[in-house]
Every structure is written in structure tokens, then in C-alpha cells.
Amino acid sequence: MPDADSPRATAREAITLLTGAAGFTEHRPPPRPLPPDGPLGWAGYDAARERASARTGEEESVVYGTGVVGDRACVLISFEFGFLGGSLGRNTGDRLAAAYELALTRRLPLVALVATGGSRMQEGMVALTQLQRVAVASTRLRAAGLPQIAVVRDPTTGGGWATVGAGADVVLALPGAQVGFAGSRVRPPHADPYAYSAEGQFAAGQVDAVVPADELAATVTQWLRALGPHEDLPAAPVPRALPTAGVGTGSAAGGGAVAPLPGTGREAVARARDPRRPRAEAYLADYFAVRLPLHGDRSGATDPGLLCGLGLRADGQPVAYVAQCGTPTRPAGYRAAARTIRLADRLGVPVLTLVDTPGAANDAEAERAGAGAAIADTFAAIAAARVPVTTLVIGEGGSGGALALAAPENTHVTVDSYFSVIAPELAAAILKRPPSETGATADQLRLRPQDLVELGFALSIVG
């Protein structure tokens, strides 16, 4: 067997990389002979298939069956790039459709190890329409609440990337893999090769993680544990209070203790903006034993100020998380949030949101990127969620940009937080008040944690 990092590992070597000694049980659909030289009568096609079979030992470009990754049973699909470039033909489509049906029937997650150059030109439109078969099969699996993970190897291009790969719930990539819809021979001659790499696709928010081969089995195992399938999971517990490291006033605020409630609106805002208070990273690190990030908005952008993913708590319970990091949230962040919430809802995983933003990004770039539509979609994702959503406001709650991530009737607040219809400085400006009246305006807005409980917005104060 070649080195695990080999970009040209065979289909079965790629499977063994995940299953190890646990083994793999291959399945095959009933044979369906092609006409001589295929549906197009492409001269030499039969001979090319015979050579590919002799070279690889495979009958087609895809191998599928059941196996165990870590401690999780799943259906595995693996592409054999050595068989006509891992291309998709009619018989490949038969195998892919059968693999998805196997996952559906046995209610197992599906893991695809993809390495393909796209549709098989020797079969023309018959080959191309296999992409529609894959889309239908994938949609049925999605509707049944069963997860799909893709591991994209080198290369993953064309229709295989645009269906089995990019259409998965979670997309992992091996380092250095060529990944993109356009293969190396059909893209513009001066195109930046980085854009077609695993690392470039990660930077563009199309891949969730670039995972070294020797870490792949452990990573996929954790994802399978988090994604399920699950039944009747409880709501995400509210995160516990974290020490405030001197934020606030009075002796209770120092030495890592939890600060008392703010006395005024101005104090509440100042404490929420204090750089010393706990941030999202600290809460997530305390809350989860394992975190599995979902990266990017699948539309070519990322927002480093918003963290999304699934995590496993110390007791093994999976929880999806969406956490603002104190910066203005960008459209890509809202799209990533909506993607995470909808995935969790489909898989039956409870959601935790951490709210901390002065508001949605309001620069011209954000407007061009569709800020309004992205925020609206996040509101809609939470409103439609059937799984329980729990929210903790850990800092600033800036207007609708923060409210979009807040769970109706299940929002809690920390002592270092505030929530307001508008920032007090902006409220004073709109009311044509001098800056000296910002504090009084903050009091009028009733934005303190205790005010939010009295107004019925928050259920409790944590800390």
C-alpha cells in the first residue's frame, strides 16, 4: 500500500485508510450490460474499459458497501481514479444510486471518498444525466435525516465535485488536492491554480476542513458521532458563567469572580464592550470536549467573526453551535449560520447560539453581498427549526444583527451583556441629543440584563 498521503491511493486503499482492521463489505448492483462501445458506439470504448479493468482490478470507477469507521457503521463510496479518471458513466450511476439507497434502507450515514475527473465523454449525455440521479438520491437521503460526508481527494473536479462532493453536508479535503468544477485541461490558461486547490476552496468557504490523511479516520469518526442519526436529543444546556477577570465594579468583579449586575445602562454597555470579558472562544472551549467547525457560506465567502459547527460535550451529546465573536457580523456569517441551523434541524441536533455583536456589518461591501437577505434567512432558519435552540447573550446585543441569532422564548443573558434596539450612541444621534446624554439614553432603552428579564426577552441571567 502506498503512503497514506499519496494523492493517487486506490479506491480500496482510501477505504482502508478509514476502516482499518474493521473491514469493508462490498456491495454491487445487478449487472446491466452496455451496448457495444457504449451508448454512443464510441470506437475503442470497450477496449479502454478492459484496459482500465486490467490495470486497476475494478469493473467500474466506483466501489461501495458498508463498513465501520471508528465505532460507527456507515455506507462508504470510493472512487477509483485509475479507472478512466474516476469518471461517471451509466454503470457508475447505478452504483452511486445503489449506495445511496443502501444508506437509506439501513438508515446509515454515507461517506464518499471522491476522486474524479467528471462525466465520461464516451457516454455523452447518458453519462451527464447520472449527475441528476445522484442529486435525486442525495435529496432523498437528506429528507430522511441521514448525514452525508465527502472526503475530496486528488483530483475532484467536474460533476463529481458538483454533486457527491460539494453536495455533502460536510466537506473534508486532503491537503494539496485539486478541487474545483473546472479540471486542469478546461480552465482558463492563466487561472490561479490556488483557486482550484483544497486550500483555496477552504479559503473561499467551500470546504469545511483540510485534513491530513493520517488524521482522517479520527476526524471522520468524530463527525459521524456528531451527525448521527439521532433521536430525541435534549435541548442544549445553557453555558455556565465564566469568570470576568476584573470586568465591572466592586470587589466581586476582581480575581476571576463573576461580576455583579450593572447599575446603569451606561455601565452595562461598557462591560459588554470590555476586552477583558469572556468571548465566544472561551465559552465554546469550556462547553465542548470536541469541536468540529463548519467553514464558510458555500457561496464563496467566510466571516472569521462568526464560528459555526457541531460539537460533542463531555457526555457525548452533540450540539450545533453558532457563535458571534464581538465583531459586526457579515453576510457570509449569517449564511453560514443559517446553513448550520438547517443542518442541525434536519439531523435532529439541538442548537446553541452565542450572541455578541455590535450589529450587522453595514458597509457598502456588506450591502453588495446581500446583508438584508442573509439576515432574513437566518431569522427564517431559527423560526423554522424543529429542534430546540438555546441562546446565551455573552456581550453586545446590537439590534437586528444580534436578534437574528436569538431563540424566541429561550434566550438567556450574562451579567456582562446588554441587548438594545439600537446602540445608545446612535439612538442619541437620531434623537439629536448631545453625546453627554448617551448614558441617559442607555438607561431609557432598558438594555441591562435585569431589564431584559423584566421585559420578558430573557429567561434568566447567567452568573
Q: With b meaning 16 or more CB within 10 Å and e meaning fewer, what string describes 203-216?
A: bbbbbbbbbebeeb
Evaluate the omega torsion of the peptide bond into residue 35 and state whether it is cis, within 30 degrees of 0.
Answer: no
Q: Which three cell numbers stand for residue 387?
A: 429542534
**pLDDT 10s digit of each residue in the chain, 463 long?**
333 344 489 999 999 999 998 889 999 999 899 999 999 999 999 999 999 999 999 999 999 999 999 999 999 999 999 999 999 999 999 999 999 999 999 999 999 999 999 999 999 999 999 999 999 999 999 999 999 999 999 999 999 999 999 999 999 999 999 999 987 778 888 888 999 999 999 999 999 999 999 999 999 999 999 999 888 899 999 999 998 765 654 433 334 566 799 999 999 999 999 999 999 999 999 999 999 999 999 999 999 999 999 999 999 999 999 999 999 999 999 999 999 999 999 999 999 999 999 999 999 999 999 999 999 999 999 999 999 999 999 999 999 999 999 999 999 999 999 999 998 888 888 998 998 888 899 999 999 999 999 999 999 999 8
DSSP state of 279: -
Q: Which three cell numbers stand for residue 196?
A: 482550484
* Calpha distance 303→295 (Å, rounded): 9
Q: Which three cell numbers stand for residue 114?
A: 471522491
Of 379, 410, 409, the residue nearest 392 (C-alpha): 410
Of 415, 229, 407, the residue nearest 322 (C-alpha): 407
* Calpha distance 295→125 (Å, rounded): 34
- Whether the CB-CB separation of 135 and 88 falls below 8 Å is answered with no
* Calpha distance 37→49 (Å, rounded): 9
Q: Helix 130-143 crosses helix 90-106 at what angle (to 10 degrees)?
A: 10
Q: What pLDDT does 6 receive? A: 47
- Whether the CB-CB separation of 391 and 410 falls below 8 Å is answered with yes
Q: Which three cell numbers stand for residue 344?
A: 442541525
Q: With b meaning 16 or more CB within 10 Å and e meaning fewer, what string describes 57-94?
A: ebbbbbbbbbbbbbebebbbbbbbbbbbbbbbbbbbbb
Please provide the DSSP assignment of 68-132 as one string.
EETTEEEEEEEE-TTTGGG-B-HHHHHHHHHHHHHHHHHT--EEEEEEE--B-GGGHHHHHTHHH
Q: What pLDDT does 271 receive? A: 96
Q: Given 3-state DSSP classes, what are the helix, strand and coil percentages for the chain, each rounded to the nearest 5?
A: 40, 20, 40
- Whether the CB-CB separation of 144 and 70 falls below 8 Å is answered with no
Q: What pLDDT does 187 receive? A: 83
pTM: 0.93
CA distances from 297 to 219, 245, 340 (A): 21, 34, 10
Of 402, 419, 222, 418, the residue nearest 323 (C-alpha): 402
Report the SS3 class of residue 214: helix
- Whether the CB-CB separation of 78 and 12 falls below 8 Å is answered with yes
pLDDT in tens, 300-311: 999 999 999 999
Q: What pLDDT does 22 receive? A: 81
DSSP state of 205: T
For residue 159, the cross-strand partners are none
Please provide the DSSP assignment of 221-255 as one string.
HHHHHHH----SPPPPPPPPP---TT-SSSGGGST
* Calpha distance 267→302 (Å, rounded): 33
Q: What pLDDT does 245 receive? A: 65
Report the SS3 class of residue 345: helix
Q: Which amino acid is at 331?
A: P
For residue 75, the cross-strand partners are 66, 110
Q: What pLDDT does 189 receive? A: 84
* Calpha distance 228→319 (Å, rounded): 11
Q: What pLDDT does 184 receive? A: 79
Please provide the DSSP assignment of 15-77 as one string.
HHHHHGGG-EEEE-PPP-PPPTTTTTT-TTHHHHHHHHHHHHS-SSSEEEEEEEETTEEEEEE
* Calpha distance 261→100 (Å, rounded): 54
* Calpha distance 98→325 (Å, rounded): 43
Q: Which three cell numbers stand for residue 294?
A: 463548519
Average pLDDT, the chain: 93
